[in-house]
Amino acid sequence: MGELAATRRRRADQARQVADLIRGEIVHGRFRGGRLPREAALAREFGTSRNTVRAALGLLRDEGLVERCPGVGTTIAAEKVPHGLHRLLGLAETLHEHGEVTNQVRTMTLMEPPPAVRQRLGLGPGEQVVYLERLRRLNGLPLSLDLTYLIREVGEPLFDADLVHNDIFVLLERIAGRPLGVAELTLEAVNADPHTASVLETPRGAALLMVERLTHLSDGRPVDLEFVRFRGDRLTMRGHLRRAGDPAYEHAREQARGARKEEQACL
Amino acid sequence: MGELAATRRRRADQARQVADLIRGEIVHGRFRGGRLPREAALAREFGTSRNTVRAALGLLRDEGLVERCPGVGTTIAAEKVPHGLHRLLGLAETLHEHGEVTNQVRTMTLMEPPPAVRQRLGLGPGEQVVYLERLRRLNGLPLSLDLTYLIREVGEPLFDADLVHNDIFVLLERIAGRPLGVAELTLEAVNADPHTASVLETPRGAALLMVERLTHLSDGRPVDLEFVRFRGDRLTMRGHLRRAGDPAYEHAREQARGARKEEQACL
């Protein structure tokens, strides 16, 4: 990054730039041993000064991603696990390679939903929902706090289910006797309020990945409205986007269109 | 939520629950006038006490989502704009209904990339990249800080382009003479370090939505590696997930398969 230095950019800008590249390497699993190279080696690798490397590692330490010990060097503080964004998956499903997900049920109750919930779940006045609040752990460490509203038909049988060891998604499909379909998803970054921080065992104000998700059965019925707070230092979301629809999808549609024409020609 | 009260849950738990529902209503645009109902009305609507409503609104104020003034009530502080997650879009493209995106170029330089960048962009030793740093504003207010590495072939012509008023994606397609293809995406929530906070004009430690995105041309060549920090209080990401692939896609494939069989029968 000799040219960068030449533009006399502020060290904070350079540190951010280096920190992003190191964060990427950590998240993509380059440092499998859990230890980062020494400052001097990183300075060479990124073509920058040791002071900039030190500032970059300081940023990652403040994020909770690495720990720095004099004499020991820089080690990865906690694995940041990837939650798949390519299809609709429960937490245990998407993290099965990363360890055991267990769920602590904090609240479970039948309730009269407020209009905001009733409307999203397509319920009439007076229809009740099951409200469920879970603290979810991966290998014993808090990962997310989930607030879930379920239509009564699929929610009530959950009172007798093993919620500690199962994703709701898997249980819902068993109860409904049909697969889930589409979920509408909204992602946000929010700061942990003091009470949420204490539940998730993370510092006050820690960045959380917040997900609102309305899940439908394959027949289109909305059944499950969720508000999930993931610890930002423990999880990433990973997926693909295409510029113009899915090319395989477009290709298949094209083929189907041609085929229909041929069908007509055959008649 | 009479049943909730009956379970004697802590007020902080109830406040979080109510705050999530109100946040959802704000994000989905229910309060178009920019003003929330009075505390008493919200308490009735959510079947909870005014103290719980007050605590819920306090949480949303701490997130920067609403403002509370004695005598005036609760108003929405800033519009939270939705970034589409259904296809690969530039910022101006996805926010065109929400106002004007302008870009301030903080740095633009040709540089020798570190191995982490070289490897992701599939470059050989000695090949240079264009490094670009932009502060992006929506209607004049800071929205994101973008760090971008571009392969030289598509990056160098950008020195002569109008970067202030154009998305990089649109310019890249014009330069490359072909559409973009797929992007690999990693989403995280991180706290703003002091320097980033001052650039984005947000409080220190504010939650940011961080996106790492590697974009390919339609021929598969990686061309653009980005690290984007969105202000968490100003933007959401919104999309759909399907449980088992895209049903329309599966359906089209099915039809195409059937069609191929018929074609054979017709021969």
* 3-state SS, residue A5: helix
Q: Could you tell me if B147 and B209 lie in one domain? A: yes
Query: Residue B243: which of A80, A179, A191 has the nearest Cβ?
Result: A179
CA distance to partner chain A, nearest, from residue B20 (Å): 7
In DSSP terms, which residues pair with A83 in a beta bridge? A237
Q: Are residues B92 and B218 in the same domain?
A: yes
Concatenated DSSP letters of B27-88: HTT--TTSBPPPHHHHHHHTTS-HHHHHHHHHHHHHTTSEEEETTTEEEE-S--EEEE-SS-
Give the pLDDT band of residue B238 (cuts 50, 70, 90): very high
Q: Are residues B114 and B211 in the same domain?
A: yes
A43 in a structural domain: yes
Examine the domain organization and report whether B21 and B151 are in the same domain.
no
The residue assigned the tokens 């207010």 is: B141
Domain that holds residue A183: 81-238
Is A4 within 8 Å of B131 when comparing Cβ atoms? yes
Residue A257 has pLDDT above 80, yes or no: no
Specify if B255 maps to a domain: no
DSSP states along B232-259? TTTEEEEEEEEBTB-HHHHHHHHHHHHH
In a domain, A251, yes or no: no
Closest CA to A1 of B129, B134, B113, B105: B113
Min Cα–Cα distance to chain A from B160, Å = 19
Interface confidence, given as ipTM, is: 0.87
State residue A254's pLDDT score.
Answer: 52
Q: Are residues A114 and A229 in the same domain?
A: yes
B73 by Cβ neighbours in 10 Å (0-12 / 13-18 / 19+) ranks as middle
CB interface of A with B, residues 100-129, below 8 Å: 106-107, 109-112, 114-117, 120
User: For position B30, which CATH number holds?
Assistant: 1.10.10.10
Q: Is B174 on the interface with A (CB under 8 A)?
A: no
Q: In the prediction, which pLDDT does B254 show?
A: 53
A218 in B contact zone (CB under 8 Å):
yes
Asked, for residue B181, whether it belongs to a domain, the answer is yes
**Of B78 and B214, more confident:** B214
Q: DSSP string covering A79-115, please?
A: --EEEE-SS---HHHHTTTT--EEEEEEEEEEEPPPH
CA B187 remoteness from chain centre: 9
Looking at the structure of chain B, the number of domains it has is: 2
Chain A residues inside the 8 Å CB shell of B4 = 107, 109, 111, 131
Does the pLDDT at position A255 exceed 60? no
| A113 lies in the same domain as A208 | yes
Judge whether B156 is closer than 8 Å to chain A, CB to CB: no
Q: What is the average pLDDT across A128-133?
A: 97
Q: What is the mean pLDDT of chain B?
A: 88
d(CA B98, CA B80): 10
Check which CATH number belongs to the domain holding A199 and give it.
3.40.1410.10
Beta bridge partners of A109: A131
CA angle B70, B74, B75 (to 5 degrees): 125
Residue B263 has pLDDT above 60, yes or no: no
Q: How far is B188 from chain A (nearest CA, A)?
A: 5
CB contact under 8 A, A255 and B258: no
Count of pairs with CB atoms under 8 A, one residue in A, one in B: 293
Higher pLDDT: A188 or B89? It is A188
Contacts of B3 in chain A (CB under 8 A): 109-112, 131
- Tell me whether A207 touches chain B (CB under 8 Å): yes
Could you say which residues from 58 to 87 on chain B have a Cβ atom under 8 Å away from some Cβ of chain A?
Answer: 59, 62-63, 80, 82, 85, 87
Residue B205 near residue B191 (C-beta atoms within 8 A): yes
Question: Which among A49, A59, A50, A51 is positioned nearest to A22, based on CA atoms?
Answer: A59
With contact defined as beta carbons under 8 Å apart, do B202 and B128 qualify?
no
- Report the 10 Å Cβ neighbour count for A184: 16
* pLDDT classification of A245: cutoffs 50, 70, 90: low
Give residue B73's region: left, alpha or beta (phi > 0; psi -120 to 50).
left
Q: Nearest CA of chain B to the CA of A71: how many Å?
A: 26
B-interface mutation test, from A16, A46, A66, A88, most B Cβ less than 10 A away: A16
Measured CA to CA, the distance from residue A241 to residue A244 in angstroms comes to 9
CB pair distance less than 8 Å for B190 and A63: yes
- In the sheet that holds B129-138, the strands lie side by side as A81-84, A235-242, B180-191, B207-217, B222-231, B141-151, B129-138, B101-111
Same domain, A111 and A176: yes
Of A12, A42, A76, the residue that ends a domain is A76
Q: Given this model, what pLDDT does residue A252 score?
A: 44
Q: Are residues A96 and A133 in the same domain?
A: yes
pLDDT value of residue B264? 37
pLDDT in tens, B15-46: 999 999 999 999 888 887 889 999 999 999 99
Residue A246 placed within a domain: no
DSSP assignment of A240-252, as one string?
Answer: EEESSS-HHHHHH
**Closest-CA distance of chain A to residue B267, Å:** 11
Nearest C-alpha neighbor of A149 from the set A132, A134, A164, A161:
A132
Is A139 at the interface with chain B, CB within 8 A?
no
**Mean pLDDT over residues B105-110, rounded?**
96
Contacts of B77 in chain A (CB under 8 A): none
Q: How confident is the model at residue A259 (pLDDT cuts 50, 70, 90)?
A: very low
Other beta carbons less than 10 A from residue A69's beta carbon: 8
Residues B131 and B227 placed together within one structural domain of the fold: yes
Of A43-57, A109-123, A245-259, B238-252, minimum mean pLDDT range:
A245-259
The pLDDT of residue A86: 82
**Residue B72 sits in the same domain as residue B193:** no
Q: Note whether B108 and B196 are same-domain residues.
A: yes
B261 has a chain A CB within 8 A of its CB: no
Domain boundary among A23, A50, A76: A76
State the pLDDT confidence band at B72, using cuts at 50, 70 and 90: confident
Q: What is the pLDDT of residue A267?
A: 30
CA dihedral B197, B203, B209, B214 (to 10 degrees): 0
CB-based contact A187:A111 (threshold 8 Å): no
Amino acid at A41: A
> At which residue do the structure tokens 């170029």 appear?
B105
Q: Which of B2, B185, B253 sits opposite A241 (nearest CB)?
A: B185
> Tell me, what's the pLDDT at B249?
42
Domain match, A92 and A41 both: no
Question: Which residues, in sequence order, are CB contacts of A222 under 8 Å at separation 6+?
Answer: A120, A121, A122, A151, A214, A215, A216
Model pTM score: 0.88
Residue A250 domain flag: no
Take residue A255 and report the two structure tokens written for it.
């083929």
CA torsion A58→A63→A66→A71, rounded to 10°? Answer: 30
Q: Report how far residue A232's alpha carbon sits from residue A143's, in angstroms, rounded to the nearest whole number.
A: 9
Interatomic CA distance for residues A40 and A50, integer angstroms: 6
- Chain B hits for A147, Cβ within 8 Å: 16-17, 20
Q: How confident is the model at residue B10 (pLDDT cuts 50, 70, 90)?
A: confident
Is B222 domain-assigned? yes
Please tell me the predicted confidence (pLDDT) of residue A260: 41
Q: Per-residue pLDDT tens for B109-155? A: 999 999 999 999 999 999 999 999 999 999 999 999 999 999 999 99
Q: Note whether residue B254 is domain-resident.
A: no
